[in-house]
Amino acid sequence: MNDRALVPSSNEQAIIDALGHRAKKASSVMAGASTAAKNKTLRMAAQLIQDQATALEKANALDLERAAVAGLEDAAIDRLRLSPSVIEGMCKGLEQVAALPDPVGSISDLSRQPSGIQVGRMRVPLGVIGIIYESRPNVTIDAAALCIKSGNATILRGGSEALHSNQALAACMRDALVDAGLPADAVQAIEQRDRALVGALIQSPQWVDVIVPRGGKSLVERISREAKVPTIKHLDGICHVFVDRDADLAMASRIADNAKTQRYSPCNTMETLLVDTPVAQAFLPVIAAIYRDKGVEMRVDDVVANILKTAGIPCLAASEEDWSTEYLAAIIAIKTVDGIDEAIQHIHRYGSKHTDAIVTAHHGRAMRFIREVDSASVMINASTRFADGFEFGLGAEIGISTDKLHARGPVGLEGLTSQKYVVFGQGEIRQS
């Protein structure tokens, strides 16, 4: 995507205007849709996806062929594939979202005021959600399901390499909506490959209430810079584990191992391990041996290097850049710090406000850490890998936000809604 490609022409704006107009119209119907109709849509979509597996595979084959011709890497082609297990996963996901409580319409904090009026807050959909994502076609179903359940309409823009698959999946959703008596236009997937449509979409606050960009950093960065619509997003996941001087070292190595090696590519994987100086000598050779055995490259400061040298464990010298790099790979940066103050300073300076954890048995420092570390998820004695909508009990996840306004951390159904004030009166008027 180059800079020029994002500037929409009047033709592209006309396409988005047509999509946006239909989405807005559908969104008012969806806002009033019953929980039963929304759940029926999701269960019906699961049924249609199973029934139409052959057609889906055919559409998917077109994308796979095109990708092979274009010379895409095997990993990228793999992400594109609608395998039986991916299809099963989508259907299971639809059932799970159907089983979640409907957030729309709940009224909280209802209280009587001195004037006599009762004031509360009612949860309502945001309206139209734009989702911009890369390669994996199952996002079409996962994202649309959350938008439907939360009473929103959605405009989907997947990767152009998955165009046929995304269109086929969106068609299942649209058919299911109609079967349940809801408007098909509650789910629209952009049909054109033209990249300037993304520019038009994210600059149309008259049609779209929020944009959720899901994908690589360059995509998310570009979209959040250009958007005139609010976004729910995170750019980096530079997550830290700080092993405090009062940590249970067996627990610390279990957490530091899991946070780094359980999976390398997720955003909630630890990238930098901070070790309190008094326990460095005892802790580092243990955790470093685990990393060495799993093939994790260690980039370390001088103190760590000396300790590992003595232990006979190979490592590289870290550069300044390593402290702010999201590796998403079998590489870790390791640094010693002199106490919690230096740890917190390091996290504020180099972190990305995503997820950070302390391992300690000391209550005061544990509470200081969760209070003072300004990240979306802050943890005591747990692996950063838990920063996830399912693990947090949200039942689903549309993404993770490192923004401060609206939604922070894993974003579930509630993040696709907002609250308006409702007032129940008996004829009250204001006196002053």
In the bound state with a copy of itself, the residue whose beta carbon lies nearer, of 140 and 352, is 352
Beta-carbon-side half-sphere exposure of residue 225 (alpha carbons within 13 Å):
10
Would the CA dihedral through 325, 330, 331, 334 be positive or negative? positive
In the bound state with a copy of itself, the residue whose beta carbon lies nearer, of 69 and 405, is 405
In the bound state with a copy of itself, the residue whose beta carbon lies nearer, of 174 and 408, is 408
Give the residues lining the site for a copy of itself (CB under 8 A): 28, 31-32, 105, 111, 113, 115, 117, 119, 122, 124, 126-127, 209-210, 230, 248, 251, 254-255, 257-259, 262, 348, 357, 359, 370-372, 374-383, 385-387, 391-393, 403-406, 408-410, 418-430
What the block records as the tokens of 405 is 């306004």
- Backbone conformation region of residue 286, classed left if phi is above 0, alpha if psi is from -120 to 50, else beta: alpha
In the bound state with a copy of itself, the residue whose beta carbon lies nearer, of 174 and 365, is 365
Nearest to 357 by CA among 385, 373, 379, 342: 379
In the bound state with a copy of itself, the residue whose beta carbon lies nearer, of 352 and 375, is 375
Residue 309 Cβ vs a copy of itself, minimum distance, rounded to whole Å: 29
Per DSSP bridges, beta strands 270-276 and 153-157 are unpaired
The answer to whether the beta carbons of residues 113 and 196 sit under 8 Å apart is no
Residue 262 Cβ vs a copy of itself, minimum distance, rounded to whole Å: 6
Residue 188 Cβ vs a copy of itself, minimum distance, rounded to whole Å: 20
- Backbone conformation region of residue 213, classed left if phi is above 0, alpha if psi is from -120 to 50, else beta: beta
Residue 163 Cβ vs a copy of itself, minimum distance, rounded to whole Å: 30
Residue 70 Cβ vs a copy of itself, minimum distance, rounded to whole Å: 33
Residue 386 Cβ vs a copy of itself, minimum distance, rounded to whole Å: 6
In the bound state with a copy of itself, the residue whose beta carbon lies nearer, of 309 and 363, is 363
What the block records as the tokens of 347 is 């996290």
The answer to whether the beta carbons of residues 389 and 415 sit under 8 Å apart is no
Ranges of beta strands (E only) in 53-116 are 107-112
- Give the separation between CA 67 and CA 387, rounded to whole angstroms: 33
